[in-house]
């Protein structure tokens, strides 16, 4: 263990040991962080989700005034079920300058770096505060973001800049696409397959709605308005589908899940409203044959797209701290969209590569942690001045 990384690695080891998969509680991890902050006399607040099984945490170091910096990260991780790991995913294992474990790069590495910097932040003569914002349920649609933002507004003065520490290899990411998750449930009428005229096939009608997704993506592709994004257009895809009971039965039910990743400048309603209108038209056609036929649409998640002002404080600060002046955009979604939608100037910058996230043998390198430590030290030094950008 490198001496200069020892505090960070010790914290990372502890954080990884908590199996905070999104369908499980993160309360023990939050309790550990709370105890750690309390040992350094840091002001913090813990809040529950609606179920009481998840918790978020916010904290502040430095003067109680507006204009500081929020360091934001999520505490949940994706499942390991079905993945072939070379070691226990909830045990930090070092091999060849890499540290393996679920969440090492997405994104407990950033949390460990942030917490390891706390003693230096507490000791520093900060002119502007650092606020910590640790959420839950990011991996299942950023569901913990709205309550986190509400708690920040309730307890702390507004910050000027938000840095979301998703894995970017410590480069500055200025924008990401928005996300919409939908479940479409279609109910028709069952009949024997020899008499399809007596039934209403839920699968046949689902096919019309599924085709809409491909047609809309092709339309967006032809417009190709998202310079900097890969691909440079909004994307739509159907990820799961279930329906029917037997080969010789007209299917009464069909449901499918779909995912939309849209460019900045587009709102969720720009996609949901026309899709809902299509489903209404399909439903009317079904009800001509069977009045009880119906379609239900459930919106499981909406994550706003994000694009930071290239001349804004967040971009300027992150570029100053990293030396990265490139314009970078990503197609995945993060909590940065919610922060920006709430009025915060926001960028994404954190250790590790997204290429390792969610995979078996997820890892973060010692080099990335060292860059992250340098970033935290530079941020602390900057906050000791009145100007942060």
Q: What is the pLDDT of residues 174-205, one digit of tens each?
A: 999 999 999 999 999 999 999 999 999 999 99
Token digits of residue 168: 């970017």
pLDDT in tens, 197-230: 999 999 999 999 999 999 999 999 998 777 889 9
3-state secondary structure 22-61: CCCCCHHHHHHHHHHHHHCCCEEEEEECCCCCCEEEEEEE
pTM: 0.92
Q: List, by residue number, the catalytic residues.
A: 76, 138
343 — pLDDT class (breaks 50, 70, 90): very high
Nearest to 210 by CA among 239, 180, 231: 239
Q: Is the previous residue joined to 107 through a cis bond, with omega within 30 degrees of 0?
A: yes
Determine the pLDDT at residue 1: 40
Report the first-to-last Cα separation within the chain, whole angstroms: 34
Give Cα separations from 61 to 34, 118, 353 (angstroms): 14, 8, 28
Give the SS3 label for residue 89. coil
Going by C-alpha positions, the residue among 385, 366, 376 that lies closest to residue 322 is 376
Q: Do the Cβ atoms of 148 and 135 come closer than 8 Å?
A: yes
pLDDT in tens, 54-83: 999 999 999 999 999 999 999 999 999 999
Residues of the chain above pLDDT 90, percent:
96
H/E segment holding residue 341: helix 336-341
């Amino acid at each position: 263990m490198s001496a200069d990384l020892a505090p960070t690695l010790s914290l990372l080891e502890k954080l990884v040991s908590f199996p905070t998969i999104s369908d499980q509680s993160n309360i023990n991890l939050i309790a550990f962080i709370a105890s750690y902050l309390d040992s350094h006399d840091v002001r913090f607040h813990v809040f529950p989700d609606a179920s009481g099984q998840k918790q978020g945490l916010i904290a502040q170091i430095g003067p109680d005034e507006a204009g500081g910096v929020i360091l934001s990260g999520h505490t949940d991780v994706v499942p390991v079920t079905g993945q072939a790991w070379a070691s226990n995913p909830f045990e930090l294992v070092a091999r060849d300058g890499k540290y393996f474990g679920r969440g090492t790069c997405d994104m407990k590495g950033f949390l460990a770096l942030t917490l390891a910097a706390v003693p230096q932040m507490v000791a520093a003569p900060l002119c502007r505060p650092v606020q910590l914002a640790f959420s839950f349920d990011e991996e299942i649609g950023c569901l913990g973001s709205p309550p986190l933002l509400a708690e920040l507004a309730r307890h702390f003065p507004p910050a000027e800049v938000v840095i979301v520490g998703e894995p970017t290899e410590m480069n500055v990411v200025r924008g990401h696409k928005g996300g919409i998750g939908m479940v479409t449930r279609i109910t028709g009428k069952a009949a024997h397959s020899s008499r399809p005229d007596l039934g209403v096939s839920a699968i046949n009608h689902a096919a019309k709605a599924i085709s809409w997704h491909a047609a809309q993506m092709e339309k967006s592709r032809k417009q190709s308005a998202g310079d900097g994004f890969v691909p440079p257009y909004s994307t739509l895809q159907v990820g799961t589908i279930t329906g029917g009971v037997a080969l010789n039965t007209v299917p009464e039910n069909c449901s499918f899940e779909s995912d939309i990743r849209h460019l900045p400048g587009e709102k969720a309603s720009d996609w949901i409203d026309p899709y809902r209108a299509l489903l209404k038209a399909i439903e009317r056609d079904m009800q001509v044959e069977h009045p009880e036929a119906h379609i239900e649409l459930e919106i499981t998640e909406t994550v706003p797209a994000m694009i930071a002002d290239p001349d804004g404080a967040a971009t300027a600060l992150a570029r100053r701290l990293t030396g990265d002046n490139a314009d970078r955009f990503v197609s995945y979604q993060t909590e940065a969209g919610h922060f920006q939608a709430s009025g915060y100037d926001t960028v994404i910058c954190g250790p590790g590569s997204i290429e390792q996230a969610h995979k078996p043998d997820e890892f973060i390198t010692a080099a990335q942690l060292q860059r992250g430590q340098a970033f935290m030290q530079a941020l602390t030094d900057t906050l000791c001045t009145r100007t942060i950008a």
